[in-house]
Amino acid sequence: MEKIQGLQVYKFGGASVKDAAAILNLCRIVRDFGPQGPLVIVVSAMGKTTNALEEIFQLAYAGKSCQSQLAALRKYHFDTIAGVIPISFGSEHVYDETEALFKELESRLKQVDLNGNFDEQYDQVVSFGELLASRVLALLLAWYGPVHYLDCRPLIRTDENWRDAGVKWPETERNIAETLPLLLAKGIVVTQGFLGGTADGRTTTLGREGSDYTAAILAYCLRAESVTIWKDVAGLLNADPKIFPDTVRYPEISYRETIEMAYYGASVIHPKTLKPLADRNIPLRVKSFLDPAAEGTLIHDCQHPALAPAFIRKTDQALLSFASKDFSFISEENMAVIFGALAQAKLKINVMQNSAISFSVCVDYSERRVHQLLDLLREQFTLHYNTGLTLFTIKNYDAASIARLTAGKRLLLEQRTRHTFQFVCQG
């Protein structure tokens, strides 16, 4: 497609729409710091809405009532809207459309089939967080200028890998190229992150925190000039300031370094976000919505001197060890069986290590998935596992950073490569 001159993509996460003050701040950023040229805004569900919807769905799937949780979520959305724009301002349609989405959500919940596919039904319910936020934001931003609301589900075509859907790039690129330029000519396009759709029109989700990825998908397909992710931190930091004191910000960093940090679990950017941007050389800015004039971080194709060590923590990990039952060595054939079972249970390996007669993996803990895996492998292997663990990664480590992080901890597994030091510990 023809490049749209100067096109920018902004992504606003849940924290930037978590209450009325946050939404008003977002509108101010778009008005005062936004580009003169075309702009696509991708928005996540408000605040902790996705967690709330997960809980609501789990209750419904267990055949329990979720009425009070649903009422609380509804109240939260209406209170937020009322804080931005009182009903008397001729804004009844914002309330009406929100009400309509809640009605739709309620009827979806009534259809939940306790014998049906959990993951598929999860996507049909949990997607409402983004549908609500994007609809509300589009209507509120329209007070500032021309805005076009876009439901991206028919455009971002995915497979049926529910909750972690894979993008079908040729169809997606074609759909976006056919639709977006016309809409952008009419004003700012506001759409939702995290969502896609199958060929037969069912909703999929791209994995938790997947709205960053949506911004990258759109930017790639539109050959955007840049993407900006607006966060509640000053940019890409070497550690999460809520966990580690004395963090430093990287003013500039390469795609490669950032991909690795995101892969190891740095929560600042969804790991799938970087590849589409690197493929088309689209720079990614991470900026603070609390201080929009500040520099932030520029992620692009660049060379830079050695970086300050990055500290990454992943909690709620499980360490699973598989040993052959007859003391035979763990062979390539055994590994193939173990990997096959991990893939079937949809468990992603965060670290792995093998000894002569046992093989260990560290994964994000999900009770359902770990039990599915154990059922698949119980006959062939002796299995041990520990849960409630934490995986720490130090990228670009040095002796001081290792000493600092491991002090006082009981390490269950440790691994060191040229640039990366990882360990799993209790708690």
| Contact footprint for ligand ASP (CB under 6 A) | 13-14, 44-45, 50, 129, 193-194, 208-211
Q: Does 210 bind Mg ion (CB under 5 A)?
A: no
Half-sphere exposure of residue 189, counting CA atoms within 13 Å on the CB side? 27
* Of 213 and 421, CB closest to ligand ASP: 213
For Mg ion, give the closer residue by CB, 160 or 232: 232
Taking CB under 5 A as the rule, does residue 129 contact Mg ion?
no
Residues 6+ apart with CB under 8 A from 175: 154, 155, 156, 157
Give the single-character DSSP code of 271.
G
Residue type, 275: K
Shortest approach of ligand ASP to residue 301 CB, angstroms? 25
DSSP string, 309-360: PEEEEEEEEEEEEEEETTS----HHHHHHHHHHHHHTTPPEEEEEE-SSEEE
Smallest distance, ligand ASP to C-beta of residue 266, A: 15
Q: Residue 108: which of Mg ion, ligand ASP, none does it interact with, CB under 5 to 8 A by kind?
A: none
Q: Please say which residue, 148 or 270, places its beta carbon nearer to Mg ion.
A: 270
14 part of the interface to Mg ion, by CB under 5 A: yes
Count the site residues for Mg ion by CB under 5 A: 2
Check binding of 127 to Mg ion (CB under 5 A). no
End-to-end Cα separation, the chain, in angstroms: 51
Of 209 and 257, nearer to Mg ion (C-beta) is 209
DSSP H helices, 200-270, are 211-222, 255-264
| Nearest-approach distance from CB 270 to Mg ion, in angstroms | 10
Task: Name which of Mg ion, ligand ASP, none residue 208 binds, using a CB cut-off of 5 to 8 Å depending on partner kind.
Answer: ligand ASP
Q: In this structure, are strands 411-416 and 252-254 parallel, antiparallel, or unpaired? A: unpaired
Contacts to Mg ion from residues 15-54, by CB under 5 A: 44
Residue of this chain nearest to Mg ion (CB atom): 14
Nearest-5° Cα angle at 30, 29 to 36: 125
Closest separation in Å from C-beta 323 to ligand ASP: 36
342 binds, among ligand ASP, Mg ion, none (CB under 5 to 8 A by kind): none
User: Identity (one letter) of the amino acid at 231?
Assistant: K
If you count them, how many residues does the chain have? Answer: 427
Q: Which residues bind Mg ion (CB under 5 A)?
A: 14, 44
